[in-house]
Structure 1
Amino acid sequence: MIEDITVRYLDSFKDKQLVDPILIEGLPGIGQVGKLVAEYMIHILAAEKIGEIHSIYLPPQVILEENGLARLARNELFLYQSGGKDVLFLVGDHQSTSNEGHYILADFYCGIAEELKVKRIYTLGGFGVGHLVNEPRVLGAVNRSELRTELEAAGVTFNRDEPGGGIIGAAGLILGLSAEWGIDAVCLMGETSGYLVDPMSAANVLAVLSKLIDVPVDQTKLNDRAAEMEKAIESMVEGEKHGDEELSYIG
């Protein structure tokens, strides 16, 4: 029987005790910034998968694995525990395909956070500016004014006019709805063109997030990806310049 939303916890998680956990949301979005940060942290920290979320509000499709095996689109929960630091991650294949679904799923995620006694939620995303950015800023938003000072000390920028259209999708709705659940929440947005997957923006968000949650993460591999992307963009821009010169010559 298909239900609107289901969460299934793995047997390996049922006996675990969480202590003051935080939740990091990194679902797909602008520049894939949040997704890059969360999945990179899961990989580097060797976080353990603890659950799967299925919903009719996700796109009507299956995902094909490398061996050709089909599975339903899903979102997943991971857990990292070390030295008294309990960090939950919400990642996955998709966000909702409808406005209604966005609200329902975001509220469901907040319900999971309450159930697992999460003390604070960090939502991650990209802030699309429509042009290439050499030194991406990390912009912030909070659901309680007292949280702002802490973020500013970590290098987060607050600007009432940015983003101008508000924060769309899970990163914004979880931030807003979590207040109704009595959970502190912070949104970190990496400045990005919005046209490409942006590891440079993700690296800056990761640096700030690591400070805020006091969990050191080796950024070497992500920084390497960012450097490769920067070189690729430089080559692309240089090629466009040469193309313009050739066209001018022909004209």
Structure 2
Amino acid sequence: MDDINIDFIEKPELEEAIMIEGLPGVGNVGKLAVEHLIEEIEAEKCADIHSIYFPPQVLVDEDGLSKLVNNRLYYKKDVGEDDTDLLLLTGDYQGMTPQGQYKLTDEILSVAKKMGIDRLFSLGGYSKGEMVDIPEVLGAATTQKKVEEMEELDVKFSEEHPSSGIVGASGLLLGLGDKLYDISGVCLMGETSGYFVDPAAARVVLKTLMEYLKSEIGYERLDEKAEEVEELTNKVKDMDMGGMQQQESGSEDLNYIG
């Protein structure tokens, strides 16, 4: 086995296409967004990516069947009013080491360039470290023109956020794509607590992307997942409040006894 194997099911002919990345990360925002998009536009899988830089494991489905962890490429032609071709990247894991991240990103960009990609969007989450009621979309881009285009869609750009930069595939795709492959890029990050998988943040990121593509999709499945997560977070809040009340009650009793 090579360090990285990209096994093509088919090699679609794409023109002036956009690559959209959504791999596991903070709140799984990017992964949720891209997987939802794949379902909504009925994108077709064109390649499986296996690598020694992924964790040494298989995933087991509900039927007990095992699958070697991988990344996957999908495509869809003629999306939106401008008939834009899309190449979509998602998967089970990112590379485990810095070297693996660089090698995987470089290999994927090399393949994407040959397939006709000239722009890319990386999707992810921005951790606030606290509960977020109405998430906003933060951005980073490789050109001022892209910044201005995304600001028109209410994407927020700031020198302070993200303060530590963008790590992992979402950041490297922008950096290596711009420097080595002449691929302009934008990273869209949905605000999230970082505590849970966050479908609500995925929704706002995906909605911004679809506005850029001048295309419409349904969000019902993401909305249902968001409601489930909200129920869970409310239960956690209730448990925290109950614990605080017990502590306060115990403290009062102790003061009284003393």
TM-score by length of 1: 0.94
Which residue of the partner structure matches residue 24 of structure 1? 20
The match for 2:69 among 60, 70, 73 is 73
Q: Which structure 2 residue ranges, 5 or more long, are not aligned?
A: 252-258
- Structure 1: which amino acid aligns with 2:28? Q
Q: How many residues in Structure 1 have an aligned counterpart in Structure 2?
A: 247
TM-superposed CA distance for 1:230, in Å, is 2.1
> Letter of the aligned partner of 2:150 in structure 1?
L
Displacement of 1:242 in angstroms is 2.4
Q: How big is each residue's C-alpha offset from its partner over 1:209-251, in whole Å with a ceiling of 9 and x where there is no partner?
A: 1111222111122123223322331232133112211222233
Q: Which residue of 1 aligns with 2:29?
A: 33
Is the 2:118–2:182 Cα contact (8 Å) retained in structure 1? Answer: no
After superposition, residues 167-178 of structure 1 pair within 5 angstroms as: 167-178=166-177
Pairwise CA RMSD:
1.4
For 1:245 and 1:102, the matched residues in 2 are separated by 46
Offset at 1:161?
A: 0.8
Whole-Å separation in 1 of the counterparts to 2:196 and 2:228: 13
TM-score, length of structure 2 as denominator length: 0.91
The structural deviation recorded for 1:61 is 1.3
Asked whether the equivalents of residues 38 and 74 of structure 2 are also in contact (C-alpha less than 8 Å), the reply is yes
Counterpart position of 2:120: 121
SS in structure 2 at match of 1:41 = helix
Which ranges of 4 or more aligned residues in structure 1 deviate by more than 4 Å?
Answer: none
- The alpha-carbon deviation at position 137 of structure 1 amounts to 1.3
SS in 2 for 1:101: helix
| Match for residue 47 of structure 1 among 43, 46, 53 | 43
1:44-72 deviation line (CA, Å, top 9, x unaligned): 11111111111111111122233323232
Alignment of 1:103-182 (within 5 A): 103-180=102-179, 181-182=181-182
Matching residue of 2:191:
191
Looking at structure 1, the residues matched to 59 and 235 of structure 2 have their Cα atoms a distance apart, in angstroms, of: 33
Give 2:99's aligned amino acid. E
Segment of structure 1 superposing worse, 26-35 or 226-235? 226-235
Q: Any conservation in 1 of the 2:23–2:90 contact (CA below 8 Å)?
A: yes
For residue 82 of structure 1, report the CA deviation from its aligned partner.
3.8
1:250 is aligned to: 250
SS at match of 2:2: coil
Aligned to 2:4: 5
Q: Which residue of 2 aligns with 1:204?
A: 204
What's the CA shift for 1:105?
A: 0.8
